[in-house]
Amino acid sequence: MNKPPVIGIIGGTIWGNRGAESMLVTTIGMLRHSHPDAQFVVFSYSPKKDRKLIQDRDIQVVSAKPTSLVLRVFPFVVLAWLLRLVGIQIPGVLLTNVVRALRRCDVLLDIGGISFVDGREIFLPFNILTIWPAMMLKIPVVKLAQALGPFRNPVNRAAARIFLPRCQAIFARGDITAENLAQLKLRNVTRAADIAFLYDSRFSLSVENEEPVQELQAELARVKAQGRRIIMISPSSLVYEKAAKKGKDHVGELLQLVRDLDDGNTHFLFLANSTKEGSAKPRNNDIFVLDLLMQRALTTFLPEQFANMHWVNWDVNTTSLRKLMGMGDLLITSRFHAMVSGLSLCVPTLVIGWSHKYQETLADFGMQRYAADVDHGFGDLLALARELLEQGPAVRAQLSARLGAVRDISRVQFQYLESLLH
């Protein structure tokens, strides 16, 4: 009898970043469909939080924090690799728990979303350390759908030329990524779509603040029953930081957009797609931006205008976020996976982004013109938002017509994994 496969996953987490959560739970859910007995090792950026949230005996959570990769993984893997060259198998008792967990894996799936990208060289060592130890242990590495490149920076290009050919397979999340990888003449690349397009609420592994979400759903239902429209705003702390570096008042620009779209018959829902409730650290924490928006809105809008705003500035998992998003008439977001959720729910979606990853995904729906770039100015966001509102039924129909094909493209990577694991 064949032993159940042990599948390692890195680049995902349950707590905090809902994009990472949606990819992680979808990957596990899809693989369990084809391998019900599979065991999983999740190399998490938030291991303590994830262990508390995940109650599943077939999922082991170990640390993939940068310090852990540098101090508890890489040196021991190098030692094991060197000893293997002279025919010595290092005993597991001499290894860290993270390395022992890695050695159990039959495959390592990298679901990091974006890596080896020009302008993000600060993350390049981390991009390398997430996959190199597995390669040294001769564990196949598969990069599931993500954005890569461009590779104009010589350091990034050199690293990509060394490590990407050594991956068992790479799934390009869009045509731009595929073109970037084609420049490296790689033979292990397949076009795919984001994992989270296959998300199903049945895959969820956590329960977070469900009761207040249900209360908010009921309130929004009353808003809809009054014939009022709902516009959702999901900002990004990363875009806020990028805008600030360019001297832009991102909070002011978003609130001006809200002001211009407020016709007296509109309700606004502000959502955080990456949250660290209770943390004072702003990094990758959209609650920080929502709080700035709320403070400014409280002092600049009339009380009756502010009363038409709801703020979800607390931890909410992907399932709950999608329940709320599905009630909207328009989504304005800077978070990639908030965009994926909106498109999956066929909600007209306008994006304020910073990377090619937005455009290439929107292109699969014929919606690429609805992506503004923080690096080149936001353009006429108001005109685009009004266009999406006016053409709402037609836009929803277009998204619905394209969604099936996008999901099929995403499913390709799991078909590949099924054959690999067999």
C-beta atoms surrounding 420 within 10 Å: 14
- State the alpha helices, DSSP H only, in 115-209: 124-129, 132-136, 154-163, 175-182
Q: What pLDDT shows up at residue 377?
A: 63
Could you say which DSSP state residue 269 is in?
E
Question: Which residue, 355, 345, 352, is CA-closest to 235?
Answer: 352
172, exposed or middle or buried, with CB in 10 Å at 0-12, 13-18, 19+?
Answer: buried
Q: What pLDDT shows up at residue 1?
A: 42
Given a contact cutoff of 8 angstroms between Cβ atoms, the answer to whether 62 and 98 are in contact is yes
pLDDT tens digit sequence for 36-89: 999 999 999 999 999 999 979 899 999 999 999 999 999 999 999 999 889 998
Q: Check: CATH 3.40.50.11720 for 6-200+407-421?
A: yes
Tally DSSP H helices, then E strands, for the chain. 19, 14
In the chain (422 residues long), the average pLDDT of successive 10-residue segments reads: 88 94 98 95 95 91 96 94 90 90 97 94 94 97 96 96 98 95 96 97 91 95 96 96 90 94 96 88 89 96 95 94 97 97 98 92 96 76 95 98 98 96 87
Q: What pLDDT shows up at residue 332?
A: 98
C-beta atoms surrounding 1 within 10 Å: 3
pTM: 0.95
Identify the CATH class of 209-347+349-390.
alpha beta
Distance CA 61, CA 54 (A): 9
CATH 3.40.50.11720 positions along the chain are 6-200+407-421
Which residues, including other chains, have CB under 8 Å from residue 179's CB and lie 6 or more apart?
A: none
Q: What are phi and psi of 4, to 5 degrees?
A: -60, 140
In what helix (H) or strand (E) does residue 343 lie, and over which residues does it extend?
Answer: helix 336-344
